[in-house]
Amino acid sequence: MATFLYKLGRLAFRRRHFVALIWVALLTLAGVGAASAPPAGNSSFSIPGTEAQKAFDLLEQRFPGASADGATARVVFKAPSGEKMTDAGNKATVEKTVDELADGSEVASVADPYTGNAVSKDGTIAYASVKYDVSGMELEESTKDALEDAAQQARDSGLTVEIGGDALQAVPETGATEVIGIAVAAVVLVITFGSLVAAGLPLLTALIGVGIGVSSITALASALELGSTTSILAMMIGLAVGIDYALFIVSRYRAELAEGREREEAAGRAVGTAGSAVVFAGLTVVIALVGLAVVNIPMLTKMGIAAAGTVAIAVLIALTMIPALLGYAGRRVKPAGAKGKRLGRSRKGESKPDQPAGQPKANLGTRWASFVVRRPLAVLLLGVIGLGAAAVPATSLELGLPDDGSQPTSTTQRRAYDLLSEGFGPGFNGPLMVVVDAKGSDAPKDAFDDVAGEIKGLDGVVAVTPPAPNKGGDTATITVVPDSKPSSVQTEDLVHAIRDAGGDIEAKTGAETLVTGSTAMNIDVSQKLNDALVPYLVLVVGLAFLLLIVVFRSILVPLKAALGFLLSVMAALGAVVAVFQWGWLSGLMGVEETGPVMSMMPIFMVGVVFGLAMDYEVFLVTRMREAYVHGEKPNQAVVTGFKHGARVVTAAAVIMMAVFAGFIGSSESMVKMIGFGLAIAVFFDAFVVRMAIVPAVLALLGKKAWWLPKWLDRALPNVDVEGEGLRTVAEGGTGPDEDRELVRT
């Protein structure tokens, strides 16, 4: 592989105009496609194989034209202090508002509070339910404006009016912190390279790659039903890996220049060595993201595939456009250490005038690695204990999906949620819909009544509406209001209790009872994600483990990489629980409401963090492997790997943390949580696992770290990540070097 990538790098360097033209053309094509594509429609959220989805599908079949997936709005009214909603003036205002809402072209129905029993017992709060023909993302702006105007007119009459439901849902905004994250990345690159030109190359290529990826997602959003969150996550991951992959290749290019090689040769060697690591690091990220399809939740699958596509683009750009841009930059990209030489430091190991000859000052990475290999056990224990302590909050992890109750108190949706809880109880915001399929029953009406009666006798039930049958009389819906909030454990227990009772009723009457609604959907999603976590972990870690065996030609190094990842992801989950569930530092993170951690957070973090963790493993340990196979002793190879790679890996980690942390400013709670989780996970993995635990373990293992059974060594393909095949080219093809043979043990 190294030889192929070497030739590719040299070709891109020579044919830089052609390569640049191709990528600019692709960016233009994607941009035109995004600009001319129809707006994204409804992002369908289905969970195949669950009872809630089965009931939802049955409703669409038995209640045709009911717009089961249409947007809803609850316009909530509260009377001024000392007044009631039943007072004549307030009642007239509400009825006028209802009439105005009913005039909308996309409105399917509006329920009057006074005829629909939607006034609280104390008479201070009432609500009008509005049902639309289309989903919230498909509503025209004029319809949303009409809804807000009607509410404002009621406010002008003296009432407190808020709007809940999904009719006013908006595309999430990431905020200015995203730009700050990119700015931090730029500063880190300038410090790392000491050159604006060299620092600008990774940023430029990353932005081009993300532009192509996100524009392609936007162009396909309507056809593939991709949600707005999909493009945000693709941008988040694409920016991070795009900058990092380019950073590693540019750094290796400068190191090759420092060895005295010509620029075209240096570009080829940078792509052949660091580019090989980029390919395998990118593969682990792609495997982790595409593997999300195992969960069998279409929305999550689409998010994973879209993000994986952006990562693949980042890899291709790093391998081709970076050497092309290096050709354009010419002498403006200096060899590694060139700036230091002007400041009195050596470039290639020469001592400063006040230092003894042959004893150059070791860099920070070398000094740290030397310390770790002298005290490996102490460093290992400290790192493991520290991550274990950070992971403790994860033992109280509670999962759920966000609803209006998790939104900031500044939003009208959250205020409507609170008003409804005040007037009708906490469970009113998460009613359960029970669907009774009596097609196989001899007495459907009796079956409906039996189900309603059985549910009324369950603990935790506040109200049960009379069964509402369809025109055929073979299916009915029953609305159940719990006495607990939607995301509580008590509501989940009630859902299971209704389902258990339904089994007994089916045995007696032949009628099947199904529980659905947004609350039941959330419960089923959480369960499905929990059930899929272990199979997903086995698949992704197993495939990446096999891949790393090929890369490192070792059993213990990939095993150590996987165990280190588990430590970092558990510690990151603990941090997420501490902030978003317990409320630690919630003000600093902009978390206005604590609650359960998003259900898909654990499995998403496992996928993404594993891929990113393997990035640092590949970049750092391949340098160690390269030194080892060229004859260095195991401990010295660890130090050499840190000498050449620690600064770059540190810069890459800081950049990735900055990019992820930039999304903490998003208005979407899911994006905010993922941004924080990934940023803290990169911190734990890069600075604790890869920088401390990895060298400590390798120092303890010694030669055993690179052990591989001879039969497996013969069976595995030699992908030559270390660039061994390039050594014959080192001096213009004059012959192999003495240390060309791989070290085998």
How many whole angstroms separate alpha carbon 741 and alpha carbon 265? 23
pLDDT-derived band at 722 (thresholds 50, 70, 90) equals low
pLDDT-derived band at 737 (thresholds 50, 70, 90) equals very low
Q: How confident is the model at residue 360, as a pLDDT?
A: 54
pLDDT tens readout for residues 205-219: 989 998 998 888 888
- Which amino acid is located at 514 in the chain? L
Q: How confident is the model at residue 680, as a pLDDT?
A: 93
pLDDT tens readout for residues 358-367: 445 667 878 8
Q: How confident is the model at residue 317, as a pLDDT?
A: 94
Q: How confident is the model at residue 571, as a pLDDT?
A: 94
Q: How confident is the model at residue 51, as a pLDDT?
A: 87
pLDDT-derived band at 628 (thresholds 50, 70, 90) equals confident
> Is the pLDDT assigned to residue 303 strictly greater than 50?
yes
**Mean pLDDT of the region 104-129:** 85
Mean pLDDT of the chain: 82
Q: How confident is the model at residue 523, as a pLDDT?
A: 86
pLDDT-derived band at 321 (thresholds 50, 70, 90) equals very high
> Is the pLDDT assigned to residue 532 strictly greater than 50?
yes
> Is the pLDDT assigned to residue 142 strictly greater than 50?
yes
Sign of CA dihedral 692, 696, 699, 704: negative
Question: 373-408 in b/e burial notation, b at 16+ Cβ within 10 A?
Answer: beebeebbeebbebbeebbebbeeeebbbbbbbbbe
Q: How confident is the model at residue 344, as a pLDDT?
A: 42
Helices 634-661 and 228-258 sit at what angle, rounded to 10 degrees?
140
**Mean pLDDT of the region 576-604:** 81
> Is the pLDDT assigned to residue 724 strictly greater than 70?
no
**What are the DSSP calls for 208-244, one per residue?**
HHHHHHHHHHHHHHHHHT--HHHHHHHHHHHHHHHHH
Q: How confident is the model at residue 45, as a pLDDT?
A: 60
**Mean pLDDT of the region 271-292:** 85
How many whole angstroms separate alpha carbon 200 and alpha carbon 247? 10
Sign of CA dihedral 570, 571, 574, 580: negative
Q: pTM, whole model, 2 decimals?
A: 0.77
Q: How confident is the model at residue 734, as a pLDDT?
A: 39
> Is the pLDDT assigned to residue 56 strictly greater than 70?
yes
pLDDT tens readout for residues 549-581: 887 888 998 888 888 888 998 999 999 999 988
More confident residue, 319 or 658: 319
pLDDT-derived band at 79 (thresholds 50, 70, 90) equals very high
> Is the pLDDT assigned to residue 316 strictly greater than 90?
yes
Q: How confident is the model at residue 720, as a pLDDT?
A: 62
Which segments of 50-87 does DSSP mark as H helices, in order?
A: 51-62
Q: How confident is the model at residue 713, as a pLDDT?
A: 82
